[in-house]
């Protein structure tokens, strides 16, 4: 005969706790059951007000970097910023980073690129130019430069680019002056 059919399904509250006792358990873990987690908001909370800004796309082709070199430039102690409007009707903002071997070994170059990437993703959505390519070229002065100072310099460079004349209006670079070219004879005489 089976007597189990007459037992109650309810368990009495006087049973021993299911966890191991202190001599057999981890002494750093509490013996009581943790409280249930508090209610969490269903939607994530934003720390920054306003709609999320689109992160700029990354440039990948060498031709795009060479084209950006023909745009506006803002040299700073830690980097040179190049900005060129693509004129293709695409409002997407793109950025590229280049750090040459003259700056240092792979560890130093990769560190600079990581720092520039963070700066670009942080500041270009706020101060960059839609439909333009932005290129950051690392300089020797940017290796150990304070990050807050790099941020300030990038903001300053973006403001400088905004004030600069269009690429066709800019005076020629590399020290070329009117009347001092390769041609023969005098100019304007």
What does the pLDDT look like over 52-70, one tens digit per residue? 556 788 888 999 899 999 9
Query: Rounded CA gap, 43 and 16, in Å?
Result: 41
Can you read off the two tokens belonging to residue 170? Answer: 């800019």
Confidence bin at 162 (pLDDT 50/70/90): confident
* Helix, strand or coil, per DSSP, at residue 104: coil
H-assigned helices in the chain? 62-68, 106-127, 147-163
CATH code that applies to domain 74-162: 3.30.230.10
Q: Which long-range contacts (CB under 8 A, 24 or more apart) does 74-78 make?
A: 74/156, 74/157, 74/158, 74/160, 74/161, 74/164, 76/139, 76/153, 76/154, 76/156, 76/157, 77/139, 77/141, 77/142, 77/145, 77/153, 78/138, 78/139, 78/141, 78/142, 78/145, 78/149, 78/150, 78/153
- pLDDT at residue 169 in the model: 46
Query: Rounded CA gap, 83 and 166, in Å?
Result: 11
Sheet hosting strand 94-98, strand order edge to edge:
57-58, 94-98, 132-138, 79-85, 72-75
Confidence bin at 87 (pLDDT 50/70/90): confident
Are the C-beta atoms of 138 and 100 separated by less than 8 Å?
yes
Can you read off the two tokens belonging to residue 165? Answer: 């004349």
Residue 130 has pLDDT above 80, yes or no: yes
Q: Is the pTM of this model over 0.75?
A: no
Residue 48 has pLDDT above 60, yes or no: no
Task: Tell me the β-bridge partners of 132.
Answer: 85
Residue 170 has pLDDT above 60, yes or no: no
Task: Tell me the β-bridge partners of 97.
Answer: 136
Check residue 81 and report its DSSP letter: E
19-33, 75-89, 94-108: segment of lowest average pLDDT: 19-33
């Amino acid at each position: 005969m089976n007597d189990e059919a007459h037992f109650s399904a309810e368990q009495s509250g006087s049973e021993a706790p299911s966890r191991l006792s202190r001599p057999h358990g981890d002494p750093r873990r509490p013996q009581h059951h943790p409280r249930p987690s508090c209610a969490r908001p269903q939607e994530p909370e934003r720390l920054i007000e306003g709609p999320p800004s689109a992160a700029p796309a990354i440039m990948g082709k060498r031709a795009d970097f060479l084209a950006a070199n023909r745009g506006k430039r803002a040299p700073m102690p830690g980097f040179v910023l190049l900005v060129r409007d693509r004129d293709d009707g695409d409002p997407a903002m793109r950025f590229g980073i280049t750090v040459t071997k003259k700056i240092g070994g792979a560890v130093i170059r990769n560190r600079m690129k990581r720092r520039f990437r963070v700066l670009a993703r942080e500041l270009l959505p706020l101060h960059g130019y839609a439909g333009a390519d932005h290129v950051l070229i690392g300089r020797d002065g940017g290796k150990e430069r304070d990050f807050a100072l790099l941020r300030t310099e990038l903001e300053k460079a973006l403001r400088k680019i905004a004030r600069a004349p269009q690429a066709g209006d800019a005076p020629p670079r590399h020290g070329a002056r009117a009347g001092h070219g390769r041609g023969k004879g005098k100019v304007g005489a």
